[in-house]
A and B are shown apart, each in its own frame.
Chain A
């Protein structure tokens, strides 16, 4: 058999596979948006042209600083006051919050003292297994399904914490980035809880099972 014939067969398979793939994806309720970048961190080139992303300058470490700026703003005193490293800004301009700040904010939210929203960026299974009490499920990859219902709360929230599993999990960063750059929320209000649900559980904090926040 000639090489040309083999090449034609390969090409034919690839073309038919491409057509079938696009068609099947279009009718699949769990399909993906072909043009969407699900792994975007920070503003895209187009967005950079449209708006100026907030420029963040990390405050120089001060020997006298006892409480982080965000903790100051929310008027919260942590169970264990966060050190200077508690809240930091990553290379994409996202606020990364440590456990102490997250937990003290969660306590405040439970007492109704502040408009604080917790978002669980994991999938449905992870959320049902265990989530931070009060956290709302917003699977980053299924934003169209979950975000509209919670968007009014997010618009009025003083602080939004986004978490996922912790460790290597990046979904919380993707969701936080999307909230800021795609949905126009202020980068000052959105925080990524780096430790995620794994750290929350490891610290012995309460969790909730099931679909209800």
Chain B
């Protein structure tokens, strides 16, 4: 193993890089989710704008509009706490790739219809933070996807709420009757 690889391995084994990735990704997901939970109708309109879901039966798209923000919220909380970490990270990896493809697909439609530079395209992607420049959003998504993949493949179990609980039990000791 090279010296650089060894440094990365030691840093990874401390659990700190994964903790940072989890906190960052989890916080971003929660910040995406909250506006959508508060205004599901606006999110529903944004979903429709992608034209990737059938409008009938209506309950299908409506259920996605009310459930998906909660997937983001609960998944974000799970990542921050370190519970269901791999499940949440795997789900987010899939969602990030799917959303990025959908975003590019919608942007391409706008690009083909309007005479503007691709990176000049700006619209509300339904991400929860209002209108954004698409190139920037795609880069942002790529970064988030890398974080999600790291959280997905990492075998480190340190610095989670469970490890904290176990550590506390071992340090303080369990009261005996």
Contacts and interface: CB of A to CB of B under 8 A. Distances in A.
B11 to A, nearest CB: 22
Contacts of B24: none
B62 A34 contact: yes
A91 to B, nearest CB: 15
B65 interface: yes
Nearest to A25: B66
Contacts of B56: 37
Given A17-B74, A35-B59, A24 B37 contact: yes
A69 interface: no
Nearest to A171: B45
Nearest to B88: A13
Interface residues of B, number: 31
Contacts of A33: 62
A9 interface: yes
Interface of A: 1, 5-10, 12-14, 16-18, 20-22, 24-25, 28, 30-40, 141
Interface string B56-76: 101100110111111101110
Interface in B77-102: 78, 84, 86-88, 90-91
Please classify the interface of chain B as helix (H, G, I), strand (E, B), loop, or mixed, using the class held by over half of its residues. Answer: helix
Nearest to A36: B58
B70 A20 contact: yes
A17 B63 CA distance: 11
Contact of B86 (A1, A24, A35): A1
Contact of B62 (A8, A12, A16, A35): A35
A13 B63 contact: no
A38 B70 CA distance: 21
A32 B86 contact: no
A24 B88 CA distance: 21
A110 to B, nearest CB: 33
A28 B86 CA distance: 31
A197 to B, nearest CB: 18
Contacts of B59: 34-35
Contacts of A39: 48, 55
Given A13-B91, A32-B41, A38-B44, A21 B58 contact: no
B74 A37 contact: no
B162 interface: no
Contacts of A13: 71, 74-75, 78, 84, 87-88, 91
A166 to B, nearest CB: 16
A16 B74 contact: yes
A152 B15 CA distance: 66
A6 B55 CA distance: 31
Contacts of B68: 17, 21
B71 A6 contact: no
A7 B94 CA distance: 13
A21 B55 contact: no
B26 interface: no
A191 to B, nearest CB: 23
Nearest to A28: B40
A9 B70 contact: no
9 contacts: A9-B86, A14-B71, A17-B71, A18-B70, A21-B37, A22-B67, A30-B40, A32-B40, A37-B56
Contacts of A21: 37, 63, 66-70
B63 A18 contact: yes
